[in-house]
Amino acid sequence: MKGNQSQSALKKLLYNIADDLLILGHRNSEWTGIGPLLEEDIAFSSMAQDKIGQSLAIYELLHQLGEPHPDTVAFMRNANQFHNCQLVELPIGEYQFSLVRHFLFDHSLLLRFQGLTDSSYEPLAQVSQKLVGELRYHVMHADSFIRQLGTANEDSIGRMQTALDIAVPYALGIFEKSPEEEQIISEGIFTGEQNLYDAWCREISKTTSLTSLKLPELNPEQAITGGRQGKHTKHLQLLLDEMAEVFKLEPGAEW
C-alpha cells in the first residue's frame, strides 16, 4: 500500500468518490427553497449538506496524501479535471428526475461505503464506517418515495418510469472502471466496480419490484461513460462556474 503506483490508484478512487459527492451535493442544494413539499425541500437540502460534508472528508484524505487543499480542489478545477460520473452532473430537471437519480445513485453509494469499511487503507475504512450510518437515511428516503410514487396513480407511475428510462444508462456509468481498477482490487483498497454493480442490481430491483415501475434492462453496454476520465456533459462546467463564482472573486479570502 506504500508504493507510488498504488498511491495513485488510491487517489483515483478517492477522487471518483469525492467528486460524485460534491457534484450531487451541489445539485441537491438547488432544490433548497423550491422543493415540491416542505419536507422534500428540507430532505434535499439535508442530503446536500450531508454529501458536501462527506466530500470534504474524502478531499481531506486526499490532502493528507499530498493533494492540494480541499477548497482549491473543489473550486479551482475545470470540468475536464473532475472524475464524477455523468449521472450526478445532469441538471435537476423535474422532481421525479432528481428523485430517481437519488435512488439509483445513493444505493450505489451506500454499497460502496459498506464495501470500503474493509478497505486496506485504514483512514478510508474509518471514514466509511461513519458514512454508512448517514447514508442509510438517504437510501431510506429514496426507497420510500420510489414505493409511494411508483404505486400511486397513472400520472406518478408514468413520470417515474420516464425518469427511470432516462437515468438508467447514466447510472450504469457509475461503475465505469479506471485503468487502476485491477490494482485497486489486488491491493485490497476496494472490492471493485463489478462487485459493486452486481450488488446494486440486486438492491434496486428489490425496491422497484414492489412498485409498478419496470426497471429498464441493465445492460452494461448501454452505459454512458467517460466521467471517470474527465469527459463530461456541458452541464458540469456551468455548474462549476456557478459553484465557484464567489470563491474565485478572491481565492485567498478568509471567511
Q: Which is nearer to another protein, 132 or 236 (CB)?
A: 132
Asked if 53 interacts with another protein (CB under 8 A), we say yes
Contact pick of 12, 26, 27, 51 for another protein (by CB under 8 A): 51
Stretch that binds another protein, among 92-100, 129-137, 165-173, 221-229 (CB under 8 A): 129-137
Name the minimum Å distance from CB 67 to another protein.
18
Asked if 137 interacts with another protein (CB under 8 A), we say yes
Residue 100 to residue 145: CA distance in whole angstroms: 9
Residue 219 to residue 157: CA distance in whole angstroms: 23
Q: Which residues contact 48 (CB under 8 A, 6 or more apart)?
A: 25, 26, 27, 28, 29, 31, 32
Chain Cα centroid distance, residue 40: 19
Residue 213 to residue 145: CA distance in whole angstroms: 12
Q: Which is nearer to another protein, 30 or 134 (CB)?
A: 134
CA angle 184, 187, 189 (to 5 degrees): 60
Asked if 248 interacts with another protein (CB under 8 A), we say no
Stretch that binds another protein, among 80-88, 124-132, 164-172, 242-250 (CB under 8 A): 124-132
Asked if 151 interacts with another protein (CB under 8 A), we say no
Asked if 118 interacts with another protein (CB under 8 A), we say no
Contact pick of 14, 17, 18, 52 for another protein (by CB under 8 A): 52
Q: Which is nearer to another protein, 39 or 242 (CB)?
A: 39
Q: Which is nearer to another protein, 224 or 243 (CB)?
A: 243
Name the minimum Å distance from CB 116 to another protein.
13
Residue 177 to residue 68: CA distance in whole angstroms: 25
Helices (H), the chain: 4-29, 38-64, 70-75, 86-89, 95-116, 122-149, 154-172, 181-186, 193-208, 234-249
Angle between helices 4-29 and 95-116 (to 10 degrees): 150
Residue 144 to residue 87: CA distance in whole angstroms: 21
Stretch that binds another protein, among 11-19, 43-51, 84-92, 208-216 (CB under 8 A): 43-51
Asked if 140 interacts with another protein (CB under 8 A), we say yes
Q: Which residues contact 95 (CB under 8 A, 6 or more apart)?
A: 35, 36, 40
Asked if 17 interacts with another protein (CB under 8 A), we say no
Stretch that binds another protein, among 51-59, 75-83, 164-172, 238-246 (CB under 8 A): 51-59
- Enumerate binding residues for another protein (CB under 8 A): 39-40, 42-43, 45-47, 49-54, 56-57, 126-127, 129-131, 133-134, 136-137, 140-141
